[in-house]
Amino acid sequence: MCYTSGTTGNPKGVLYSHRALVLHCYAQCMADAFGLSERDVVLSVVPMFHANAWGLPFSATMVGASQVFPGVQPTPADIAGLIESERVTVTAGVPTVLLGILQEMEKRKYDLSSLRAVPCGGSAVPESLIAAYDALGVNVIQAWGMTETAPLATVSRPRSSMDGWTDAERRRVRARQGPPIAGVDIRVVDDAGQPVPWGGNSVGELEVRGPWIASSYYQDERSADAFHDGWFRTGDVVNVDADGFMQITDRAKDVIKSGGEWISSVELENAIMGHPDVLEAAVVGLPHERWQERPLACVVARPGREVTKAVVIAHLEPLVAKWWLPADVVFVEALPKTSVGKIAKRELREQFKDHCWPDT
């Protein structure tokens, strides 16, 4: 049993069967997933309590791959050093881990050439982060899953039909969460619970089902709301394009409703993090007297760089609709994170609940 990280509510216990985890291993080792083999050296960065380290220790054991464990609370320097010294071929982590390694690379040029794949998930992977690793010759693969999905459910690998596309075009696809792996079904439903068509324009809540998807929470009354007719309601708001590539636009509880219209905090965050002087960003919706809610951008500048509200807004203006622009920007030394490295937006909302909006 593993517990959810509780980013939007109290943690919930998820029970796994032996059969579910074995099937998950087979799927994870497929070529269009992580393609693990006996030749790999796998470094599991995420803790075992976080969905069994994404199942990597089980899958690596199944195929006979070598395994490297970084110990308790490894630093980015620890991880980069192990990749270099142990010639790690596959590692995985949340975006904050990869950002930390990039910072370390600015201090010392670690040899990361052994890496063939770096699955990344836990939160949306900005296109700018993928591009930064491309420049190092490292292939970051966006994947999506949850504790309830054991956790791997989708993997974003461009299809062969996209081979003729430019690197930028392929990167835009890689920045989506990808299609479901074999064994997992996904669908998008509207507020009435009815499936909506794929194609990129229809947005709704993601539901998933499959042989390693949980069917209930452990002794938790919230099971009835989350599980129905073999489907699990994820709470993620998504669209799916014509190629079957899913993109998460937000968590249902993080979507910002301003003046009756929806604003995606994820898209705003990724756009802000595209600025070269920004290290991290989180956007939360806070109550607003006139507009019901407005987005507040919480920004961490890169060490030694200076960023202002005007700079952030100017960077966003050509990228998003005018009414999406944050009503204010605050600068913090660090963003609060959960035990597995996800940004704790509940803490940000609590921290800034009395924030005074500037006059507009």
Which of 248, 266, 301 lies at the terminal end of a domain, its last residue? Answer: 248
User: Number of C-alpha atoms within 13 angstroms, CB side, residue 343?
Assistant: 23
Supply the pLDDT for residue 9.
65
When comparing pLDDT for 91 and 94, which is higher?
Answer: 91
Q: Are residues 66 and 148 in the same domain?
A: yes
What interhelical angle do 309-316 and 265-272 show, nearest 10? Answer: 110
The whole-number pLDDT of residue 213 equals: 97
Residue type, 78: D
Structural domain includes residue 299: yes
* CATH number, residue 263: 3.30.300.30
Q: What's the average model confidence in pLDDT over 21-32?
A: 97
120 and 62 within one domain: yes
Catalytic residue positions, numbered = 4, 148, 257, 262
Expressed as residue numbers, the domain containing 344 is 256-351
The pLDDT value recorded for residue 360 is 58
Domain count for the chain? 2
pLDDT at 10: 77
Tell me what the mean pLDDT of segment 312-330 comes to. Answer: 94
Q: Are residues 243 and 279 in the same domain?
A: no
In a domain, residue 357? The reply is: no
pLDDT range class, residue 207, cuts 50, 70, 90: very high
Other beta carbons less than 10 A from residue 220's beta carbon? 15
264-272 average pLDDT score: 91
Lowest mean pLDDT of 81-95, 107-121, 177-191, 338-352, name the range. 338-352
Query: Do 267 and 162 lie in a common domain?
Result: no
Is position 300 within any domain? yes
Mean pLDDT check: name the lowest of 68-72, 256-260, 262-266, 321-325.
256-260
Say yes or no: 37 and 171 in one domain: yes
